[in-house]
A and B are shown apart, each in its own frame.
Chain A
């Protein structure tokens, strides 16, 4: 993990693909092209892509698209999917209302 990576911009042009319009992140409606564009803009990890275009940041917290996003990033960068840094999942594992949280620790 955290392999030393020189991210220097090579100056080459962004190339569109035929299937760029296919939605990848269903919750946030982020297309393959948007993810590819983020990678072109320098985003190289799942977290960076997520923070830049919101892929995997919606209601389901990336449960459906993570693997797809990872594969797209890997392909763009010429890496194996396993070489792409992935974000750490955070509690709550499922959506939990503020009210339920707020009551935690309040009553016996």
Chain B
């Protein structure tokens, strides 16, 4: 379980509604409005994309929208920074291979 249940200082985290989204064809749950990357992390997803040149896996690195390492294909659009893009019901999130979907 990656979500923090009881935090000694922050107590609980006010999250929105639980929503369903799609990750590489699988149906996953996450909280509406939280970064896509957080919802993926809660579901144990580490790999967001594979690089163009060496096909190496990448995931969250800076978590604040600067490094662009965590980009994925979201609702068909590639290069979406999942650490700063809010999750919404029914979103389609796909692992990015280079610049596109897996061929």
Chain A interface residues (CB < 8 Å from chain B) = 26-29, 58-60, 63-64, 94-95
Q: Of B53, B62, B65, B71, which is within 8 A of A94 by CB?
A: B65
Instruction: State the main secondary structure of chain B at its contact with A.
Output: loop
Interface of A is mostly: loop
* Residues A64 and B54 in contact in the complex (CB < 8 Å), given A26-B67, A26-B69: no
* Contact (Cβ within 8 A) A29 B52: yes
Cα separation A64 to B52 with both chains bound (whole Å): 18
A-B residue pair count with CB separations less than 8 angstroms:
30
What's the interface size class on B, roughly? Answer: 10 to 19
Q: Which residues of B contact A (CB under 8 A)?
A: 51-54, 56, 58, 61-62, 65-69, 71, 79
| Bound-complex Cα distance A60 to B65 (A) | 9
Q: How far is the CB of B51 from chain A (nearest CB, A)?
A: 6
Which residue of A has the minimal Cβ distance to B79? Answer: A59
Closest to B71 in A: A59
Residues from chain A with Cβ under 8 Å of B54 in the complex: 29
Q: B52 to chain A: which residues have CB within 8 Å?
A: 29
| CB of A60, distance to nearest CB on chain B (Å) | 4
Report how far A28 CA is from B68 CA in the complex, Å: 11
B52, B54, B68 interface centre (most CB from chain A within 10 Å): B68
B14 to chain A, nearest CB (A): 27
